[in-house]
């Protein structure tokens, strides 16, 4: 094995001072472009981050930090994750103290819930999840939830587990004593914080790595098994900071036209999902901004676009051909038509704007190609 240090130091002097006591290799500090590409490829959102690759450059685990800490002699090198079937185990507990075997999850869509009673956001989300779970079961959905606790002691785990059951969440849990199994689940699904709700098949194929939003907003189970839609809602832009994202702002457009645009986006998005393969992230995410809810107005502001539908100071006077009048006309036009952007937040807040007003399958593909060929003009998001 070999280790390569990729520095996030602010200057070369700090890098050299830190690196002098390290016994391994380092990426040259001056190669900031390579550092940025590596951070983007492995979705590094914080440091320290320790990514383990095999000899062909394929990622073995992003959780190398905990793997090394738990294996100081390197006996489990290269720390490849175990198969899901082995990790999930064959024994689960219920809140009443009874146990069930693997037959309780076979053939079912699984909701793996990483949570703890000491976590305020968890306590806020758990009652909603419990109520929805009860409704899903009453509806006959083939679903099961498995609680993987982050509580610090068994008494807290049991109190929280009973609270879940009393609220309708009479689901399963990994036994408190089996901390190794919980740690392996954390690593397998790259759990960075709680509450986290991962939706998987009974074989462990990820359906939705961020199921909290999808399930929290679906009290009836109509969207079972909660795979992310091909075209997501820009008002709740989950994942937009992790992948290059095609965003179409269409708030001022008539609902019938919005539906047509979304259908064109869906054709392209579904192809990227298919190309990625089962359980894998597509190369691009697609978002439709149909209302001015959530961060949509902020995106307009940070990309220098006028507010949807125009606004005070942007409506041109009829017949005004002065430079100011023409600029107002252009601004008003931009505010009244759909606008297609490509946000690449991993690239230090980069974005690109398509010239086409008409959003079609062909224009979307052409826009992506211009980005990939380096022909689209890179712009910088303003501070919000």
The domain that holds 43 is classified in CATH as 3.40.30.10
Q: Which domain holds residue 143?
A: 84-216
Phi and psi at 304, nearest 5°, equal 75, 20
What pLDDT, on a 0 to 100 scale, did the predictor assign at position 335?
Answer: 59
Domain termination residue (choose one: 69, 96, 115) = 69
Same domain? 309 vs 376: yes
Same domain? 236 vs 357: yes
Looking at the domain assignment, is residue 226 inside a domain? no
Looking at the domain assignment, is residue 249 inside a domain? yes
Looking at the domain assignment, is residue 222 inside a domain? no
What is the β-pairing status of strands 4-5 and 25-26? parallel
Check: CB of residue 163 under 8 Å from CB of residue 130.
no
The count of structural domains within the chain is 3
Looking at the domain assignment, is residue 223 inside a domain? no
Q: Which two tokens stand for residue 115?
A: 């949570």
Looking at the domain assignment, is residue 152 inside a domain? yes
Domain termination residue (choose one: 186, 216, 246) = 216
Check: CB of residue 49 under 8 Å from CB of residue 35.
no
What pLDDT, on a 0 to 100 scale, did the predictor assign at position 106?
Answer: 96
Same domain? 244 vs 360: yes
What pLDDT, on a 0 to 100 scale, did the predictor assign at position 384?
Answer: 59
Same domain? 178 vs 50: no
| pLDDT, tens digit, 9 for 90 and up, residues 197-207 | 999 999 999 99
Phi and psi at 144, nearest 5°, equal -140, 150
Same domain? 243 vs 351: yes
Domain termination residue (choose one: 187, 216, 245) = 216
Secondary structure (DSSP) of 219-236: SS-TTTT-PPPSSEETTS
Whether pTM > 0.85 for this model: the answer is: no
Low-confidence residues of the chain: pLDDT under 50: 310-318, 324-332
């Amino acid at each position: 094995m070999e280790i390569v240090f990729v520095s996030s130091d602010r200057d070369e002097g700090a890098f050299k001072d830190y690196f002098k006591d390290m016994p391994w290799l380092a990426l040259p500090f001056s190669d900031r472009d390579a550092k940025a590409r590596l951070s983007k490829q492995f979705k590094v959102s914080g440091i320290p981050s320790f990514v383990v690759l095999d000899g062909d450059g394929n990622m073995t685990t992003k959780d190398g930090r905990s793997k090394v800490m738990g294996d100081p002699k390197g006996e489990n090198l290269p720390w490849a994750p175990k198969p899901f079937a082995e990790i999930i185990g064959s024994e689960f507990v219920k809140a009443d103290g009874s146990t069930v075997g693997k037959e309780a999850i076979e053939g079912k869509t699984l909701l793996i819930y990483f949570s703890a009673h000491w976590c305020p956001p968890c306590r806020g989300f758990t009652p909603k999840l419990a109520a929805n779970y009860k409704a899903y079961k009453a509806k006959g959905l083939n679903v099961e939830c498995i609680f993987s606790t982050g509580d610090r002691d068994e008494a807290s785990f049991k109190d929280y587990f009973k609270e879940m059951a009393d609220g309708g969440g009479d689901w399963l849990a990994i036994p408190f004593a089996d901390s190794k199994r919980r740690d392996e689940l954390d690593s397998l699904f790259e759990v960075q914080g709680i509450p986290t709700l991962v939706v998987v098949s009974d074989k462990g194929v990820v359906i939705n790595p961020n199921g909290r939003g999808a399930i929290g907003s679906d009290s009836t189970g109509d969207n079972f098994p909660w795979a992310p839609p091909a075209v997501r809602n820009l008002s709740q832009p989950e994942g937009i900071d992790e992948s290059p994202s095609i965003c179409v702002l269409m708030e001022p457009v008539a609902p019938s036209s919005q539906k047509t645009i979304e259908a064109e986006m869906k054709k392209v998005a579904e192809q990227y999902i298919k190309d990625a393969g089962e359980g894998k992230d597509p190369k691009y995410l697609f978002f439709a901004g149909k209302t001015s809810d959530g961060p949509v107005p902020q995106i307009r502001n940070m990309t220098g676009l006028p507010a949807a539908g125009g606004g005070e100071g942007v409506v041109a006077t009829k017949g005004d051909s002065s430079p100011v009048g023409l600029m107002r006309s252009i601004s008003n036009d931009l505010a009244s038509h759909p606008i297609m952007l490509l946000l690449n937040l991993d690239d230090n807040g980069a974005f690109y704007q398509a010239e086409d007003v008409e959003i079609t399958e062909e224009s979307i593909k052409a826009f992506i190609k211009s980005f990939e060929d380096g022909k689209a003009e890179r712009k910088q998001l303003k501070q919000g």
